[in-house]
């Protein structure tokens, strides 16, 4: 299938920004415009509630919202379904202290902020200056009032800094190959030489991704860390998680993979058991396939701190 054909099989996902609107208000608004609740592929004017992510609607792929006032006002966020998984799995509440370590352009930050009811405290880190400026614009457009955006490299932030001593949740969605994004899959057509270069790039990304997870595990009050990528490569996904579980931060600091029941239990596609080397652990991981799940390719993992009574399991 060509890229356009693959993209045409992904609905236009619209996340209702509950910081300033509700799905109960949104549905009649769309119905009044002539949309009808039905399978999003039934017609160009049909839309449906997503079955896995609350406040996510799926429209026909041909529906355009970029010029829509609702989008300009920040009432709707145009965000792929799979990209809504990380904040939903992290599930902070209105009392949580959260770091979004790699935040720009900010779709997951505004999702976290909405899940927190715009309360608690959310630090949004972004190291790139230009992307940081986009992040600030997006956060203000999305009515985020509990977010402090900081133009900083997460790896240079100190886990012993007093400002972060109470942080309970970290979302890590670091730079990756982007191989799950359907319209970027053309790298699969590269020649052998280019594949060598690609392998080298993936190795470097994986080293960086592991470093980011290990750093997150050093923050003293962390209870939950979500690691996600929009890559379909095991080297950036299962292999990084496997290596993280083998580090001192994990075994001595006491992190383990969350029980599968905590990680989108209704979602069938789980981690690759062969790549993980452990079928039970692979069940804790979530994958999305760009060809089979009507989403972009994606990977999500939730690390949780081992409670003292669980320590003998380590
Ligand atoms: N979570 C974002 C969203 O949903 O809108 C997308 C994040 S994107 C995959 C990764 C971002 O992390 C990029 O903007 C990149 O500049 C930033 N980044 C990479 N390494 C970083 C680091 N060490 N500290 C802070 N930001 C970093």
Q: Distance of alpha carbon 20 from its chain centroid, rounded?
A: 21
pLDDT, average across residues 281-307: 95
Q: Are 83 and 61 in contact (CB under 8 A)?
A: no
Among all residues, which ones are annotated catalytic?
A: 230
Using pLDDT thresholds of 50, 70 and 90, give the confidence band for residue 154. Answer: very high
What does the pLDDT read at residue 311?
54
The neighbour count for residue 297, using CB atoms within 10 Å, is 25
- Does pLDDT of 312 surpass 60? no
From the centroid of its chain, how far is CA 221?
22
Beta strands 12-16 and 56-59 are: antiparallel
d(CA 313, CA 305): 12
- Stretch 288-310: mean pLDDT, rounded? 90
- Band (pLDDT 50/70/90 cuts) for residue 249 is confident
If you take atom 18 of ligand 1, which residue's CA is the nearest one?
102
Q: Is the pLDDT of residue 309 over 80?
A: no
The yes-or-no verdict on residue 255 having pLDDT over 90 is: yes
Cα dihedral: 90, 258, 286, 263 (round 10):
-60
Question: pLDDT, tens digit, for every residue of 169-182?
Answer: 999 999 999 999 98
Spell out which residues line ligand 1, taking CB within 6 angstroms. 83, 102-108, 125-128, 131, 153-155, 173-175
Residue nearest to atom 16 of ligand 1 (CA): 128
Q: How confident is residue 195, by pLDDT bands cut at 50, 70 and 90? A: confident
Atom of ligand 1 nearest to the CA of 212: 23
Interface pTM, i.e. ipTM:
0.99
Q: What is the pLDDT of residue 186?
A: 47
| Ligand 1 centroid to residue 157 C-alpha, Å | 15
Give the nearest ligand 1 atom to 154 CA.
24
Sign of the torsion formed by the C-alpha atoms of 155, 303, 86 and 54 = negative
Residue 37 CA, ligand 1 centroid: distance in Å: 35
Of ligand 1's atoms, which has the minimum distance to the CA of residue 108? Answer: 4
The pLDDT value given to residue 121: 98
Give me the percent of the chain exceeding a pLDDT of 90: 86
Residues composing the chain: 314
Distance of CA 1 to the CA centre of its chain: 26
Residue 184 reports pLDDT greater than 70: no
Opening angle at CA 156, ends 155 and 160, nearest 5: 100
Could you read off the pLDDT of 113-145 as tens digits, one per residue? Answer: 999 999 999 999 999 999 999 999 999 999 999
């Amino acid at each position: 299938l060509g890229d356009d054909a693959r993209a045409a099989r992904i609905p236009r996902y619209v996340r209702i920004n509950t910081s300033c609107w509700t799905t109960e208000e949104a549905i009649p608004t769309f119905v009044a415009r002539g949309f009808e609740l039905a399978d999003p592929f039934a017609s160009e004017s049909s839309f449906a509630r997503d079955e896995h992510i609350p406040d996510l609607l799926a429209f026909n792929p041909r529906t355009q919202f970029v010029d829509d006032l609702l989008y300009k006002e920040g009432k709707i966020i145009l965000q792929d379904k799979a990209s809504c998984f990380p904040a939903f799995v992290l599930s902070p509440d209105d009392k949580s202290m959260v770091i979004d370590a790699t935040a720009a352009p900010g779709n997951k930050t505004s999702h976290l902020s909405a899940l927190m009811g715009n309360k608690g405290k959310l630090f949004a880190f972004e190291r790139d200056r230009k992307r940081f400026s986009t992040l600030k614009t997006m956060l203000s457009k999305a009515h985020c009032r509990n977010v402090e955006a900081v133009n900083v490299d997460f790896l240079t932030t100190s886990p012993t800094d007093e400002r972060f001593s109470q942080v309970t949740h970290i979302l890590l969605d670091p730079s990756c190959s982007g191989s799950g994004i359907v319209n970027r899959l053309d790298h699969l057509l590269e020649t052998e030489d280019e594949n060598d270069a690609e392998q080298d790039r993936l190795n470097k990304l994986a080293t960086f991704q592991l470093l980011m997870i290990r750093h997150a595990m050093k923050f003293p009050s962390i209870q939950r860390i979500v690691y996600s990528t929009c890559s379909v490569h095991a080297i950036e996904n299962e292999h990084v998680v496997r290596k993280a579980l083998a580090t001192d931060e994990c075994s001595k600091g006491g992190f383990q993979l969350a029980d599968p029941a905590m990680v989108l239990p209704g979602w069938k596609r789980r981690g690759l058991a062969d790549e993980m080397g452990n079928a039970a652990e692979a069940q804790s991981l979530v994958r999305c396939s760009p060809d089979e799940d009507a989403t972009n390719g994606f990977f999500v993992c939730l690390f949780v701190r081992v409670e003292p009574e669980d320590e003998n399991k380590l």
